[in-house]
Structure 1
Amino acid sequence: MAKPKLDLAGIQAQVPEQGAQRKLPPVHLWNPDFCGDLDMQITRDGRWIHEGGEIKRPAMVTMFSTILWREGENYFLVTPVEKVGIQVEGVPFFFTGLDLREGEQGRELVFTSNTDDVIVAGPDHPLRVETDVNSGEPSPYLMVRYGMEGRLSRNVFYQLVDLAEERDGQLIVSSAGSTFQLGSLD
């Protein structure tokens, strides 16, 4: 089977201009046939690579992120008529910003990704931290959508740690009525 070719010009015509209201397509309702794998990957630091070159247009990357779908450990770009596989190093989203705001249930931690996703940590979007058993280095993640997570940049994680409070030897943050453990003080 020949590798599918991505029609970048056709997709570009569908990308909204900057400042346009973002709306996620109903990817969860689409079930097209698998068309093969693309030479595309999302790197650990959130860069999108197509045929060896980085996609430099932020609006294009953002648009691709809206049609991203996960099945098991595999990732796909999905449209109503086709589904193509792509490679992802770790997780597909990368969070580069953190803001605070007051919500109905108190403080909200509002994360922004490099693909313009704005996610409030809470019951539907939990934070979790994995700690490498050898190095002790933390890897923080936030649930985005459809079982897909994003990794927090080191800078964002440090901001989060600054907001944390110590409870029984643990670093804890709260957002939208939920409490999340960032790690132990041991």
Structure 2
Amino acid sequence: MSVTKQGETKAGDVSAQGSALDGLIERAGKLRGPAPVHLWNPADCGVIDIRIDRQGGWHHEGRPILREALVRLFATVLRREPDGSYVLVTPAEKLTIAVEDVPFIAVEMAIEGEGDARKLILRTNVGDLVVVDAAHPLRIAPGAARDGLVPYVRVRGGLEARLARPLVHELAPHFEQRGEEIGLVSSGHFFVIGRAEAVVTL
């Protein structure tokens, strides 16, 4: 097994002021593990000033949330809506938040096995463990010129994690060409990165 670690985005401290945030923390705190948010359809309570930046950092009213436990708590009740927006959901309320890219960052990986038996296992900055497979596919999106191609993985529901750059470099030796396509095998599935002539850099 090969393991790569990347410094995690530090989740953080916030003074929980305002009834909306207080109530959300209280209700979310009663849950254990990822909540069944897909089963809940509470009233829409509007927008709360919470933002997840491109590096996976959470902010409330412009201030970073530094308490990792609080960030992980919020992550358990995060849901992506059909229109692409992100909401924090409990059985009692639904509050829209802002997400700059995707909510999570994959910060650590392990590769087990070889060939078609290989499994790519990722850990996110909020503690989710994800085995890349048909239910948790890897996708590639074009990034800025300096970024090349940017890999994302589905974590749960419609929520994705972007792979931290050091992990991308660690993955490169495991790419293989099949016909005119280059990709990566995990859990018996071949995830296409792109056509061989188009894949220049990751």
TM-score by length of 1: 0.84
CA shift for structure 1 position 131:
2.1
Cross-structure match for 1:86: 97
Give the alignment partner of residue 167 of structure 1, picking from 166, 178, 181.
178
Q: Aligned with 1:56: secondary structure?
A: coil
1:83-111 alpha-carbon deviations (Å, 9 max, x no partner): 101000121111111112349x7221001
Counterpart residue type for residue 45 of structure 1: Q
The 5 Å alignment of 1:1-186 reads 5-7=20-22, 10-11=25-26, 14=29, 23-71=33-81, 72-102=83-113, 106-132=117-143, 137-168=148-179, 170-186=181-197
* Farther off after superposition, 37-46 or 23-32: 23-32
TM-score by length of 2: 0.78
1:110-157 alpha-carbon deviations (Å, 9 max, x no partner): 011101011000100000111249678211110111122111111111
Counterpart residue type for residue 53 of structure 1: R
Distance 1:110 1:138 in 2: 20
1:12-59 alpha-carbon deviations (Å, 9 max, x no partner): 99289xxxxx62211111111011111101111100111111111112
1:51-81 alpha-carbon deviations (Å, 9 max, x no partner): 1111111121111111001112211000010
Counterpart residue type for residue 192 of structure 2: Q
Change (3 A) 1:13 1:118: closer
CA shift for structure 1 position 5:
3.1
* Farther off after superposition, 22-31 or 115-124: 22-31
Maintained 8 Å contact 1:169/1:185: yes
Q: Aligned with 1:76: secondary structure?
A: strand
- RCO (CA 8 Å, sep 6+): is it higher in 1 or 2? 2
Q: What 5-or-longer segments of structure 1 have no aligned partner?
A: 17-21
Distance 2:132 2:182 in 1: 16
